[in-house]
């Protein structure tokens, strides 16, 4: 009997509210610089990182930019399936039977999706053009494609550590405990 070969995709999901927050900060910074009668250059805008602006400085209503917490693996699966059907027609419906979302974490926005080796490129394309999950606008990016669940878990742990290092918050015992919890969740993936 021939073994069924699979690929594991590590996906990062960023909600539109987070992306809009960053772009509105850039727009507000541009408007502030333009009103001071000096035109900003591209290098000037690149030096302004989005983390240097707070929502209170921008006058943004943060209640509009809430991250949905009730998003589950089944919602992600159905969104991938609908996107594949819309993009590739009825022929893609047969491929969706091999898709399995084995891990999703709402705090980190990371997901691990198991697909067959033959349909990996098609599923990657569908994930790239996917625009919403459970009617919540979002952007999905495939971070890595792995040949085994072990390497997918290692890639997810590296990504979680990278996100932890790049955050602006000061490392506290509570944040370190949360980091360990996220890593333990990834270790439990089978």
178: confidence class by pLDDT, cuts 50, 70, 90: confident
Residue pair 141/11 in contact (Cβ under 8 Å)? The answer is yes
Of the two residues 47 and 69, the one the predictor is more confident about is 69
Instruction: Give pLDDT, residue 19.
Output: 63
Region for 109 from its dihedrals, namely left if φ exceeds 0, alpha if ψ lies in -120 to 50, beta otherwise: left
Beta-strand (E) ranges in the chain?
Answer: 6-15, 100-105, 110-116, 132-133, 136-146
pLDDT in tens, 68-82: 545 688 888 999 999
User: Is the pLDDT confidence value at 190 over 60?
Assistant: yes
Count of beta carbons in the 10 Å neighbourhood of residue 160: 19
Residue pair 81/96 in contact (Cβ under 8 Å)? The answer is yes
168: confidence class by pLDDT, cuts 50, 70, 90: confident
Instruction: Give pLDDT, residue 125.
Output: 93
Instruction: Give pLDDT, residue 90.
Output: 84
Across 104-111, average pLDDT: 89
Count of beta carbons in the 10 Å neighbourhood of residue 70: 8
pLDDT in tens, 116-167: 999 999 999 999 999 888 888 889 999 999 999 999 999 999 999 898 888 8
Quote the mean pLDDT of the chain.
75
Q: Report the candidate in 159, 66, 70 with the shortest Cα–Cα distance to residue 111.
A: 159
Distance, in Å, from the CA atom of 136 to the CA atom of 81, rounded to the nearest integer, reads 16
Instruction: Give pLDDT, residue 133.
Output: 85
100: confidence class by pLDDT, cuts 50, 70, 90: very high
Q: Which of 47-61, 92-106, 175-189 has the lowest mean pLDDT?
A: 47-61
pTM passes above 0.95: no
Across 27-32, average pLDDT: 48
């Amino acid at each position: 009997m021939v073994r069924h070969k699979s690929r594991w995709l590590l996906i990062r999901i960023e909600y539109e509210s987070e992306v809009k927050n960053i772009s509105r900060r850039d727009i507000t910074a541009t408007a502030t610089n333009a009103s001071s009668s000096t035109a900003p250059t591209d290098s000037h805008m690149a030096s302004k990182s989005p983390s240097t602006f707070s929502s209170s400085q921008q006058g943004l209503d943060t209640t509009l930019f809430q991250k949905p917490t009730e998003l589950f693996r089944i919602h992600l699966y159905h969104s991938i399936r609908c996107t594949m059907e819309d993009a590739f027609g009825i022929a893609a419906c047969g491929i969706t039977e091999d898709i399995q979302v084995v891990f999703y974490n709402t705090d980190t926005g990371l997901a691990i999706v198991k697909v067959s080796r033959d349909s990996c490129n098609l599923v990657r394309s569908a994930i790239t053009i996917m625009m919403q999950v459970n009617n919540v606008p979002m952007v999905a990016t495939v971070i890595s494609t792995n040949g085994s669940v072990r390497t997918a878990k290692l890639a997810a742990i590296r990504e979680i550590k990278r996100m932890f290092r790049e955050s602006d918050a000061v490392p506290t015992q509570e944040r370190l405990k949360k980091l360990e919890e996220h890593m333990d969740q990834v270790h439990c993936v089978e």
